[in-house]
Every structure is written in structure tokens, then in C-alpha cells.
Structure 1
Amino acid sequence: MNKDKIFLSWLSPLKFVLTCLIVYIHSYNAQNYGLIYNLGIHSSTLWIEDIVSQNLAHIAVPLFFAISGYLYFRTLTFANLKEKLKRRVSSLCVPFIIWNAIYFLLFYIITHVPMIADTLNSTAVVEFDCKSLVGALFFYKQNYIMWFVYQLILYVFFLGPCLLLILKNMYVSLLTILILAVVYSIGYLELPNLSENTMMIGIYPDMLAYFIFGGFLSIYEIIPPSKLDRKKAKIIALLCFIVSQVIWSINHAEYKDWYLYSLNFLFNIISICSILFFISSFSDKHKSNINIFDYSFFIFAIHPFLLECVQKAFYIKLPHSEWVALIDYILSPMITICICVVIGKLIREMSYPLYKILGGR
């Protein structure tokens, strides 16, 4: 079977795993239970949460951007650009607006019902006016998770043709990624105004670099490797993993110097290579009758509010201790993901066209 088809078939399970990792990132509850202030480095729960949320799950967002770039530029040409953009309207723009509207209405209702507002600690009242609507619908004010989709919209619709031109030349592509890495590394520490400006414009230089890097891997057929057998691909994946872990250990040795951001960027790039090379070494196409992997975007979009509700229930109903915090941290994402899948399945069965919109399909 074609290597390309095998690789693409495994991206769906990979995206589901990455989505679950993102839920665990948002499940971090050390501050809620006072672990940082009361126990600090002596807390086993804090150590476990740091390992999972800060270390293992650290690569999830950069890899998502790389996969998005890979899939977008894989068959993109100037001839089919218009058709690609048309499809991205239904898979990016429409879900972005719809989910932002849902969260806006949800928080409007919550903040105007005192009992619910007090339970969820929603102190800022959401007003139903023009300014609030614009902020909610187009700048995800109540729906912070949509910053990811917002970035993709900027890259695809505003920078897409320019990025395609850049990716036509291998050396220009690598130089662009390097420049973005420098802007990211310097901007966050040495030039705070530059960092603030990039945030205002909405362009995150590091995430744009990962998006371009994904396109680079696709256009130049580095992933899946056409000239390497699967054994060599696994060896490369292992070497990349070892290098990334060495970089990660250096990254946490100090905290104040600008080069740590450079090392962080390098860690993400090498980790992306490691995971994608490993996936490309699989010999069989992914086959499963379980369609749970189809719910990745739906889980991604709906999980913040549900996760907060589940964690709030743990916090209110159970005694506050280090071990309860750990149980909360482990179980809350699992419960949330299950609820998301059940809700998604119900919507899908009742109205598949509606689910296609909400699921970004």
C-alpha cells in the first residue's frame, strides 16, 4: 500500500491523542488546591502534573500546527487555491463563529443567573451589546480555546499565497522558519513591545513557524520518507526523541536567558520530526470500526466549559488534599472526554449536517 495513504490514515488517531493531551493541559489544578504554595517541590501530585501537562503534553499544540500545515500544503497549488480556501471556510471559519456564539450565549446566561455565577466564580458580567458581540464572535473573548483556529484562519486566508511562494524554495522556507524562531526567542524576553505587537496583530511567530514547517515536510516529501525503509524511519524517530529530551533537560536548567526560548523552539521542531517519523514507520493502514477519532475537533471545541464543571464538582464535593487533587487531575479529563463524545454522538445522530459544522468537517 502507498506510504502516503498509510501515513495519512494514522493522523486521525494521532490528532485524537493530541486532543486528549490538550484536555490534560487544561486540567492542571495545582493552584486550585494550593499545591504550589503549600507543598511546592515536595508535592508528588505537583510533580506528576508537571510531567504530564508541562512535559509530555507540551508538544501537542506545536504538532497540531505542523499537521495542519502538512495537510494544507500537501496538494496546494495556485490553481486549486480558491477551492482549498472554499473548503477551509466550512472547516475553520464557520465553526469558529458558531462556537464563539455558543460560548458567548452560554456565558451571558451564566453571568446573569447569580446562583450559577457564584458556583463557577464567574465575576465578570457578559453584556449583550455590539462591542461584546464583535469581541466574542471574531476575537473569541469568551472562548479562549479558539485562539488556535483564529491563528489558522490568519495563516490560511491572509498569508496562504505568500507562504506557498515561500515554500516553493527550500532554502527560503528554512530561512523563514529561522527568522520566525528568532522573532519568537527575542520578542518574548528582550523586546517586550515587539511581543505585544505580534499578539495584537494576532500572529504568533512560533506557531506560524510550525505551520510552515509542516508544509515543508509535506512539499519536499520528507514525511513520509520516500527513500527510507520503515526500520530507518524508526531509528531517525528514536534519535530525534533522544535529542529532544536532552534539549528539554537543558531547557529546564535555567529560566531567565533568551536562549531558553530558542531551545524550546528547537525541542518542538525535533519532537515534531520524531513523532511524525515514528508514525510514518507504520506498515499497515489504520482500520477501526470505532469512530471516536472523528470527534477530535468537537472535543477540542467543547471541553473547556465541561472540564471546568467537572473539576468544580470534584472541588466542591470532595475534601481538599494532595491525593484528591491527583484524582481530580486524572479523572476529570477522562470524564470530560467521555461526555464530549456522548454529546457529539447524540448531535451526530440527530442532525449530521449540524455535527459537520460543529465538528469542523
Structure 2
Amino acid sequence: MEEREFHSKVYWLTFIFSILVIWVHSGNAELFLGPGAGDGWVGRAERLLGSGLGQFAVPGFFAVSAYLFYRGFSMKDLERKWKSRIRSVLLPYALWNGLYYAGYVAATRLPAAAAVVGKPPVPLNWEECFRAVFFYAYNPVFWYLFQLILLTALAPVLYFTLKNVWTGAAAAGLLAVFLGFNKNFPVLNGDALFYYGFGAFAALHGRKWVEGRLSPARGAVWAVVLAAAFGGIYLMGRIGGLLYGSALALIFFRLTGVCAFVLAVRLLHLPAAAEFMKNNFFLYAMHFAWVRLINKSAALLLPPVPWSALGAFVLMPFVLVVLCTIFARLGRRFCPGIYGFLSGGR
């Protein structure tokens, strides 16, 4: 696979994951239809798309981020990679968290906005500011970036563990056993480490599988393998199964789903990624507040009927992509420095 095609496929993949993340946070049945509506057919339909397909998005982000970090990696690249991630991850993380905090501080003190936000006045002090900026207190979707920062900091440990196939496989096995007993680490999420480690291992040892030529016949074989994996994980996760009651069932299921998305993007003859697909970080960072604002505003303006809720839910990613594209173009044109920080230099 040529370098240009590879990066185009990555943009496609992360764009799809971004759309799914928006649907995860766009559930609105009870907002439009009242308490208990989440158990009705609208709520079930939204969960099928949001919680069903959407559950593969963040594991996919972890795997793709790790693959890009460790693709062609050696220890001499560590300083350069860390410096790059400070600009592309750490600084935007702090800046967006600060903006969300400032937004909530302002909105909860303005009567008209407070009615939409639905929160009491947010404390304005240094302690709360620290909690917001460093621990994403008012930007819950950035738990992903918090975990990604921790995993990036662990690069030397992960590289020396995973650069050898056997030590990498042994570490994966030990982590699987640890997670299989529903254990976790104090700050680092074990499932995030598993997804990220999978992507890193693939970059270090499986580039020919990920980026090599994939014929339709070989793609069909991999599709059958993944379908069998889905079936096996489902059976093992049922009552009486080997993975019943274990977090591993869900982790393996989601990881298999990520592989299925990668396979689909590889097999499909997709056009080169459009420019609006390259704003995925900015889209991820801005979407949460806008989803809440649009859903709450739509619930006030539209009739409280099922099709209003479902229509707002289905259209939400497309509305957000349009808004993101407009903001990105305006940012690049009128305040490129600020936009550069907000987008992580992307």
C-alpha cells in the first residue's frame, strides 16, 4: 500500500469512528418524549446504532493511535514522537478542557443558557479549574485523551515489552488474565492498554498484514475468520461460557469489531479522503457540547413525537460535520494560530 493511500485509509477509518462517537452521545428519547421513553422503540433504535456500533469507536481510536505511533518506531524516535504528541495531544487536551470549564462557568450564570445547560452554577476557583483542566471534569469525552497521554508516556516500557513477539504475546496473555478477573489499574484503564497494545503490536510485527496487498479472496477469508471470532466470543460470554461475567468478553468483542472496520476500509475501493474528513480531532473535541445544545434546543422547538427524536439523532453527525468544517475553515483563515492549538496542529 502506498503511503498516500495508507493515510487516506486512516482518515476514512477515524472519520467513521468519529461519526460513531457522535451517535454514542446523541441519545435523546427521554429528552424529546419524556421519562421512560428510553425503553421504547425509539430508545432501542438509538441504542442499536449508538451503543451497538458506537462501542467500537474508542477502542478503534486507541488501536489506530498506537499503530501510528509505533509504525516504523525505534528508540531514537522517542524524543521526536513525544514532542509531536505534546503539540498534537497534550496541549489541545488542556486547552479544550479549559474552554469547556469556562463555557460551563459562564453558561450556568446566564439565566437563558442555564435553562438549556441544566446545571447549578459551576464553582469558579483554582481547585475546580485544576480539576477541569487536568482531569477533564467538564469534558467527559476527553477521558480518552487522558488515557492516551498516559499510554504515550509509557512508550519506553511498551516498546521494550512489545518489540519481541514472544515477550509481547506473554504480556498480552498476562494482561488478559488480569482483566479476566475484572481487575484494573489505579489510573490507567486496563482495556485501553489492551486496545493500544494491540495496535502497537500490529505496527511492530504485523505491517505486512495491515498494509500489504489484500485480494478479495483473502479478504473473504478474513471476513469468515472475524465472523467466527464474533460467534465464539458471543458463545463464551453467555451464561456458563468461559468468559461469562468477565470483562474480557466485551474487550475481545470490541477488538474484533475494530478489526472488522479495518478490514472493511481496506477492502472497499474508497476515494481519497475528503478535506472535511481530516478534521477528526477537532470534531471529536467540539462535538459533546454541540450535541447537548442541539438536542436540547431541538427538544424545545420540535413536536414531542418519535420521529422528531429519531430524526435529530440520525442527522446529528452530519450537522456536526458541517459545523466542524465551517469552524475549521474560519479558524484556518482568520486565526490560524489559535486553530492550530485547538486542532493539535492537524
Determine the structure 2 residue equivalent to 1:176.
Answer: 171
Cα 1:14–1:160 shift into 2, 3 Å: same
Instruction: Say which of 103, 107, 110 aligns to 2:104.
Output: 107
The answer to whether the 8 Å contact 2:279/2:325 transfers is yes
1:1-361 aligned within 5 A: 2-3=1-2, 5-33=4-32, 37=36, 40=39, 43-123=40-120, 125-157=121-153, 159-187=154-182, 194-195=183-184, 198=185, 201-222=186-207, 224-225=209-210, 229-247=214-232, 250=235, 258-259=244-245, 261-281=247-267, 287-288=272-273, 290-360=274-344, 361=346
> 1:35, CA displacement in angstroms?
7.4
The answer to whether the 8 Å contact 1:251/1:260 transfers is no
Cα 1:227–1:122 shift into 2, 3 Å: closer
* 2:100 partner SS: helix
Cα 1:233–1:128 shift into 2, 3 Å: farther
Alpha-carbon distance in structure 2 between the residues aligned to 1:327 and 1:229: 38
Alpha-carbon distance in structure 2 between the residues aligned to 1:318 and 1:282: 38
Cα 1:170–1:36 shift into 2, 3 Å: farther
Determine the structure 2 residue equivalent to 1:191.
Answer: none
> 1:128, CA displacement in angstroms?
2.2
The answer to whether the 8 Å contact 2:28/2:309 transfers is yes
> 1:287, CA displacement in angstroms?
2.7
> 1:261, CA displacement in angstroms?
2.5
* 2:181 partner SS: helix
What TM-score, normalized by structure 2, do the two folds share?
Answer: 0.89
> 1:79, CA displacement in angstroms?
1.1
- Paired AA for residue 215 in structure 1: A
Render the CA deviation track for 1:151-187: whole Å, top value 9, x for unaligned: 1110112x11000001111122123223333333422
Cα 1:354–1:186 shift into 2, 3 Å: same
What TM-score, normalized by structure 1, do the two folds share?
Answer: 0.86
**Unaligned regions of 5+ residues in structure 1, if any?**
188-193
Cα 1:223–1:18 shift into 2, 3 Å: farther
Cα 1:36–1:167 shift into 2, 3 Å: farther
> 1:262, CA displacement in angstroms?
1.9
The answer to whether the 8 Å contact 2:276/2:321 transfers is no
* 2:113 partner SS: helix
Render the CA deviation track for 1:54-107: whole Å, top value 9, x for unaligned: 212221111110000100011221111111111111001110111111111111
Mean CA deviation greater in 344-353 or 300-309: 344-353
- Paired AA for residue 297 in structure 1: F
What RMSD in Å do the two structures reach over aligned CA positions? 2.7
- Paired AA for residue 146 in structure 2: Y
* 2:137 partner SS: coil
* 2:254 partner SS: helix
> 1:334, CA displacement in angstroms?
2.4
- Paired AA for residue 271 in structure 1: G
Alpha-carbon distance in structure 1 between the residues aligned to 2:291 and 2:237: 29
The answer to whether the 8 Å contact 2:291/2:316 transfers is yes
Render the CA deviation track for 1:289-346: whole Å, top value 9, x for unaligned: x310121110100111111110001111123232222122112332233222211221
Cα 1:323–1:154 shift into 2, 3 Å: same
- Paired AA for residue 191 in structure 2: D
Alpha-carbon distance in structure 1 between the residues aligned to 2:67 and 2:198: 8
Alpha-carbon distance in structure 2 between the residues aligned to 1:87 and 1:344: 21
The answer to whether the 8 Å contact 1:254/1:260 transfers is no
> 1:280, CA displacement in angstroms?
3.6
Cα 1:149–1:38 shift into 2, 3 Å: closer
Render the CA deviation track for 1:185-228: whole Å, top value 9, x for unaligned: 422xxxxxx54xx3xx4211011111110011111124545776
The answer to whether the 8 Å contact 2:56/2:255 transfers is no
Alpha-carbon distance in structure 2 between the residues aligned to 1:294 and 1:116: 32
Render the CA deviation track for 1:102-146: whole Å, top value 9, x for unaligned: 1111111011213311232112x2222110111011111111111
Q: Percent identity over the alignment?
A: 23
Cα 1:139–1:46 shift into 2, 3 Å: same
* 2:250 partner SS: helix
Aligned residues: 344
Alpha-carbon distance in structure 2 between the residues aligned to 1:79 and 1:323: 56
